[in-house]
A and B are shown apart, each in its own frame.
Chain A
Amino acid sequence: MKTEVIPHVQTNKKPKPLRTGKLGGQLLLWIFLIATALLILFPIVVTLFGSFMSNAEISTGGNILPSVWHIENYAEAWVQANFSRFTWNSLMLSGMTTIGTLIVASMAAYVVERMNFPGKALFVAIQASTMFISIGAVVIRPQYELMIKLHLHTSLWGVILILISGHAYIFFILLSFLKGISRELDEAARIDGCSNAGIFWKIILPLLRPGLGVGALFTFCGAWNEYLRPLVFTMNTPELQTLTVGLSYLRYGASAAVQTHYMLAGACLSILPLLIVYMLANKSFMQMTAGSLKG
């Protein structure tokens, strides 16, 4: 790596040095920080290690690490408790929702940021209002009836369309990223005879990649963790259940008491992919949240 000669501009301000005044205070501070961290980690650790325990060991318990590692829990959950199906459905739902959301939101963000047309302010206002008005589960009913009319209620496509329709947040994220892309590039391309669609496809989308990345992360996680809509839409079609729904059914199943180890293995299947991505890119995850404050 090259050594920096020119001091670069720091966007984040330098952290203030902590004055190490009293040793006792320092100790107390660390006890507090570590205790909080342990409390946060506790349920996650229980899930990870519990998923390798036998059912009896979990319920008679008191152990943190499993005495015998039952790796077969995963194989059994995968086959017998149908988690292969749930995982596939979750992947399909989240993947399609992510692709759809990015396409729909980036197209809208492009014209709102770069073009002038009557009704633009109204469109932005509608998008903003959908983020804040919530009448709860009421809306799921008319959405469900619409999907019956469109014959989409027996596939995951109905849920996917509904999740894509909630793209307002991604629209605003992409809008703020677009504002950072210089207009000179579009103008130059226009002079070279590039069409509007060509500019969007060849200039804007490649430059928008960081924004699309953050948006994809956010949408995928949201869809992967989505519970209510998949639950309602798969009430008559259990073969379409996603991980979150399948898992919650185990919780209420008649044999819930004897399936704790499957439940934990299933919970791991659901949270591990996100945790792994999170470990690799936790800065991007946090940017998303902090960014929502400014947006």
Chain B
Amino acid sequence: MNKARQMGFSYLFLFPSLLLTVVLGIYPLGWAIRYMFYDYKGYGEARFTGLYNFRRLLADTQYWDSVVNTFIYAGGKLIVTIPLCLLLAVILNQKLKGRNLLRAIYFMPTIISSAVMAVVFFIIFNSYNGVLNQYLLKFHIISERIDWLGPKNAMMTTIIIAIWGAVGNYMLLFLAGLQNIPNDVYESASLDGANKRQQFWYLTIPMLGPVLQIVIMLAIINSLKGYETIMVLTEGGPIGKTEVMYLYVYKLFFPTPSSGAVVDQQFGYGSAVGFTTAVIVGIITLVYHVLSNRMNKMQ
């Protein structure tokens, strides 16, 4: 076949994909990298200010509070989600009546919009007339309404909701990994007299190693990035208690009068914050990657 014609055809077929990716995917990144050195509020003149935005960032306690909140949020979510999902996956990898039904139920939250569920969870956790408090009162589990979305509990509530949404997804990823472990390994282990617990620690975990590593990395990135649920549920409030990094970035671009802390529209500064946040996520991912590789080698 004519080589030039093949090339021409290839570029023709690649064109729509490339055009969309460059214009709507890469150009916005360039836009952000340019404006993070500018003072630009979205109206009026953009003024070059060099590294000023980054100096401002270092002193921005509201941002660093949101970084701390993100770590609490991600940490709380992962500490429960990862062991719980691993446990569920190990159980549901065994011959068990109704395991397909259980898998389907656990996975259900994954397909539902987090924005929609945030609205539902607001109705459930709402302190004054929320559904949950009504149940707890009715069955005399509590005697006073719990302020689920108040300053003290809001973070815990958002973590609970995040876990609810994530369980099925990571359980399924672990299951996929477990199904790659050959069966005869377990058979010979039990012939050698290894009990269930020993099999889990000395066979399942090491053999699941690479999958475990990837899934945990995915989970870390996802939990650092997620803010949609929080945005609809609490808008980062009350008094900024559930403000996370990417929600703060969002507010710098699309400020809304909210129950959280009020932020002024600032595109230049917002670009700098967005870029810094991406770097923070990148560094955490990298550190995790290096550490888990080192642990692998030690074993």
Name A residues whose Cβ lies closer than 8 Å to a Cβ of B.
12-19, 29, 33, 36-37, 39-41, 43-44, 46-47, 50, 58-62, 103-105, 107-108, 110-112, 115-118, 123, 126-127, 130, 132-143, 146, 161-162, 164-168, 171, 190, 196-197, 200, 221, 224-225, 227-228, 232, 235, 243-245, 247-248, 250-251, 257, 260, 263-264, 267, 270-271, 274-275, 278-279, 282, 285-286, 289-290, 292-294
Contact = CB atoms under 8 A, between A and B. Distances in A.
Range for the number of chain B residues in contact with chain A: 35 or more
Given A13-B182, A137-B246, 13 more contacts: A36-B106, A108-B13, A108-B18, A117-B11, A136-B246, A167-B17, A168-B21, A247-B116, A248-B119, A275-B112, A285-B111, A289-B110, A293-B214
Given A17-B94, A134-B225, A143-B28, A247 B115 contact: yes
Contacts of A17: 94-95
B288 interface: no
B93 A16 contact: yes
B113 interface: yes
Given A248-B115, A290-B173, A137 B13 contact: no
A270 B124 contact: no
26 contacts: A16-B183, A40-B105, A40-B164, A43-B120, A103-B16, A107-B14, A108-B16, A111-B9, A115-B9, A130-B26, A135-B278, A137-B250, A139-B29, A140-B254, A142-B31, A143-B24, A146-B24, A165-B24, A167-B17, A250-B119, A251-B118, A263-B123, A267-B116, A275-B111, A282-B107, A293-B211
B231 to A, nearest CB: 8
- Provide the main secondary structure of the chain B interface: helix
A104 B24 CA distance: 14
B18 A137 contact: no
Interface of B: 1, 6-7, 9-11, 13-14, 16-18, 20-21, 23-29, 31-32, 42, 84, 88, 91, 93-96, 99, 102-124, 129, 131, 134-135, 137-138, 164, 167-169, 172-173, 175-177, 179, 182-183, 186, 196, 211, 214-215, 221, 225, 228, 232, 245-246, 249-250, 253-254, 267, 270-271, 274-275, 277-278, 281
Given A107-B14, A165-B23, A190-B1, A15 B94 contact: yes
B253 A133 contact: no
Given A40-B168, A130-B25, A293-B177, A224 B91 contact: no
A286 B174 CA distance: 12
Max chain A CB contacts within 10 Å: which of B10, B18, B221, B246?
A: B10
A270 B119 CA distance: 12
Which A-B residue pairs are the 5 nearest by beta carbons?
Answer: A61-B134, A225-B113, A139-B28, A165-B24, A138-B274
Contact of A115 (B6, B28, B253, B254): B6
Contacts of A15: 93-96, 99
A134 B278 contact: yes
Contacts of A168: 21
A111 B134 contact: no
Contacts of B246: 134, 136-137
A275 B117 CA distance: 13
B150 to A, nearest CB: 18
A33 B102 contact: yes
Contacts of A36: 84, 88, 106, 167
B20 A164 contact: yes
Given A135-B274, A135-B278, A243 B172 contact: no
Contacts of B96: 15, 18
